[in-house]
Amino acid sequence: MQIEGSGALVAGGASGLGEATARALQAHGASVTIADLNEEKGSALAQELGAVFVRTDVTDESSVAAAVDATDNLRISVCCAGIGWAERVASKRGPAQLQPFETVIKVNLIGTFNVLRFAAAKMIQSEPTGAGERGVCVNTASIAAFDGQIGQISYSASKGGIVGMTLPAARDLAREGVRVCTIAPGTFDTPLLGGLSEEIREELGKAIPFPPRLGRPEEFAALALHIVENEMLNGEVIRLDGALRMPPK
């Protein structure tokens, strides 16, 4: 899929991996719509890039539909929206709380599905390219889908669900010329780690075989753009982790 001239929706695009992807898509000639709950950051970034911002709650159908509708010539959808919660399945205090688990599943998994289904439905209505392609959807999982650590039960379950959706979604949409891939990043330097000290961040980076540092959001964005441009990438989950395999804790 050619990026230049295409409409691109980036959910969770106001910061972190989504912000880097929105910047990269805009730099390569896409018309970007930033969909995010953070109105202050999203609006500021959209103004800087000359993009469109739509305040979006990915768990709300009408909110996602509005963001999709605001994206003209939608050919590219990247979903980076997500949250985390740390809690063990059970402890001496009793079972884990259900509500945080439900919330993480709702935002990460159902939110991703909402973006995927609404974006794909709009892509299907567009004219195909000469190669018969109508669009590309890139979702964001995590290596926690495979190497979930202690306390990551809700996060790992939500990201595992995104991994599990990838192939059937690609097969569902294949006849319409819409591709679906998922990126599973490792430990990246994003706002989720912003509260940690520089010393702890350096230690986290050293755990990665090579390169021994935290991943950069620009590296995630570069892979997302490659997926968009490479027609043969479909139904695939790609680990972006420097060969990291997470220990139990």
Q: Which among 134, 156, 154 is positioned nearest to 144, based on CA atoms?
A: 156
Candidates 1, 2, 5, 68; CA nearest to 31 is: 5
CA 176 to chain centre: 22
Give the pair of three-digit tokens for residue 197. Answer: 């000290």
Dist. CA 235–CA 243, nearest whole Å: 21
155 among known catalytic residues? yes
Residue 207: C-alpha distances to residues 36, 150, 161 (Å):
31, 17, 26
Q: Choosing from 155, 159, 217, 242, which is the catalytic residue?
A: 155
Round to whole Å and give the CA distance between 180 and 64: 18
Residues in the chain, how many?
249
- Give residues with Cβ within 8 angstroms of 125, minimum separation 6: none
Single-letter residue type at 54: V
3-state helix, strand, coil in the chain (%, to 5): 45, 20, 35
Catalytic (active-site) positions: 155
